[in-house]
Homo-oligomer: A and B are copies of this chain.
Amino acid sequence: MNYRKLLGENIKKYRKIRRISQEQLAERSKLHRTYIGATERGERNISIDNIEKICKALDVNLKDLINDRR
């Protein structure tokens, strides 16, 4: 699986663990809700700065978002 897909799946996983909506994650990370949705579906070639914003908003480390344990 490529990193885009892996990242998207893990962002969704941790968002659900944190029990927050895409809107809430968008607000916390100062990104647009549609950007969050597309990123979770692996449709966005997300940048490292935006990955960092999402990590902070979810209170996770980048290592957590690239873990490949399903």
| Residues in A lying within 8 Å of B, measured CB to CB | 2-4, 7, 45-49, 51-52, 55, 62-63, 66
Q: Are B49 and A48 in contact (CB under 8 A)?
A: no
Q: Which residues of B contact A55 (CB under 8 A)?
A: 3
**Neighbour of A63 across the interface among B4, B52, B66, CB < 8 A:** B66
Question: Nearest chain-B residue to A8 (Cβ)?
Answer: B48
**Neighbour of A47 across the interface among B2, B47, B52, B63, CB < 8 A:** B47
Q: Output the least CB separation between A29 and chain B (Å).
A: 14
**With A62-B3, A63-B63: A45-B48 Cβ-Cβ less than 8 Å:** yes
Q: Are A46 and B45 in contact (CB under 8 A)?
A: no
Q: Which residues of B contact A49 (CB under 8 A)?
A: 3-4, 45
